[in-house]
Amino acid sequence: KDKMKSLLLCLKFYTIGLHCNVCYHAHGSDCLAGKDTCLASEDESCSTISYYKGGKHLFSKHMCRPECKEQQFINEDELTVVMCCEKNLCNVF
């Protein structure tokens, strides 16, 4: 009975909507603050925004993002990269 309940919960997770990782502050492969998941609404995608300075990765944010567009912003030696994806938990740490 418990195995069936677990299977149904698992199937529900993977069939209803797009689930994304959430992290307010990730460095390397570790989420240091705000680890969670979100359920993307119809106009949202999974997204990772990474911040660099002088070619060195400072930190990343992971989220559900409305109207996500992949972009790069450069300001002197600072780089911000926005990545978007459309599969469950595709915005990994």
Is the pLDDT assigned to residue 84 strictly greater than 60? yes
The pLDDT tens digits for 19-72 are 999 999 999 889 999 999 999 999 999 999 999 999 999 999 999 999 999 999
CA dist 35 and 83 (Å) reads 18
CA dist 87 and 89 (Å) reads 6
- What does the block give as tokens for 76? 């002197």
Report pTM.
0.80
Q: Tell me, yes or no, whether 57 lies in a domain.
A: yes
Is the pLDDT assigned to residue 2 strictly greater than 70? no
Domain with 19 in it: what CATH number? 2.10.60
Helix, strand, or coil here: 16?
A: coil
Q: Which residue range is the domain that position 25 belongs to?
A: 2-85
Task: Indicate the number of domains in the chain.
Answer: 1
Q: Tell me, yes or no, whether 90 lies in a domain.
A: no
Q: Tell me, yes or no, whether 7 lies in a domain.
A: yes
The pLDDT tens digits for 66-77 are 999 999 999 999
pLDDT at 93: 72
Q: Tell me, yes or no, whether 91 lies in a domain.
A: no
